[in-house]
């Protein structure tokens, strides 16, 4: 039988640092050790910053009121939040509506006219948009072009109206 056991080095033997630094592998070893130390320090610093930033984000989110949370990105589209709240309250849940947008809204952004109908679609669910709907959310539209008698149920002074149309 062969004995494959190797002799154990003396555990009390001190590490020879001079051998670790010998040319050419010594410089490579120092470079690796340096990179590990820098990575560990940067990791700890950025971890602490990230945890601190989480607290700031949570504080900002907690400071938002219900309207801001519900509208979120719609704040850049919606001129008057109350118009959509009124539409949600007045249009039956199984009803249909249409949004007719135009340039006549005070305080509108360049995003309002092209995208208000898409935002209203998600905000007013389960109500569904339809081209022939009786309920109309007029967002700066020309009421004369609606093709019927428009009965205003709610309006603000900025060019937004909610009503029904009899064709």
What is the domain count for the chain?
A: 2
What pLDDT score does 95 carry?
94
Q: Is residue 6 part of a domain?
A: no
Q: Is residue 44 part of a domain?
A: yes
- Tell me the C-alpha to C-alpha distance, in Å, between residue 97 and each of 28, 74, 120: 72, 19, 10
Cβ atoms of 75 and 109 within 8 Å: the answer is: no
List pLDDT tens digits, range 68-111. 777 777 777 888 889 999 999 999 999 999 999 988 888 888 88
Residue 3: band (very low, low, confident or very high) from pLDDT cuts 50, 70, 90: low
| Domain C-terminal end among 63, 97, 121 | 63
Distance CA 118, CA 127 (A): 13
Range(s) of the domain holding residue 44: 17-63
Residue 2 pLDDT exceeds 60: no
Q: Is residue 10 part of a domain?
A: no
| SS3 state of residue 102 | coil
User: How many other C-beta atoms are found inside a 10 Å radius of the C-beta of residue 143?
Assistant: 17
Whether residues 110 and 137 share a domain: the answer is yes
Q: Is residue 106 part of a domain?
A: yes
Question: Model-level pTM?
Answer: 0.61
């Amino acid at each position: 039988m062969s004995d494959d056991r190797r002799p154990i080095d003396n555990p009390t033997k001190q590490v020879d640092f001079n051998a670790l630094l010998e040319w050419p592998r010594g410089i490579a070893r120092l470079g690796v050790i340096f990179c590990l130390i820098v990575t560990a320090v940067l990791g700890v610093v950025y971890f602490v910053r990230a945890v601190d930033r989480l607290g700031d984000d949570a504080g900002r989110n907690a400071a938002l009121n219900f309207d801001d949370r519900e509208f979120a990105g719609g704040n850049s589209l919606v001129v008057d939040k109350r118009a959509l709240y009124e539409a949600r309250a007045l249009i039956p849940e199984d009803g249909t509506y249409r949004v007719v947008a135009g340039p006549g809204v005070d305080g509108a952004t360049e995003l309002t006219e092209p995208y208000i109908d898409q935002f209203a679609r998600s905000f007013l669910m389960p109500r569904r948009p339809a081209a022939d709907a009786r309920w109309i959310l007029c967002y700066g539209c020309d009421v004369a072009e609606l093709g019927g008698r428009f009965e205003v149920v709610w309006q603000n002074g900025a060019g937004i109206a909610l009503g029904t149309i009899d064709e």
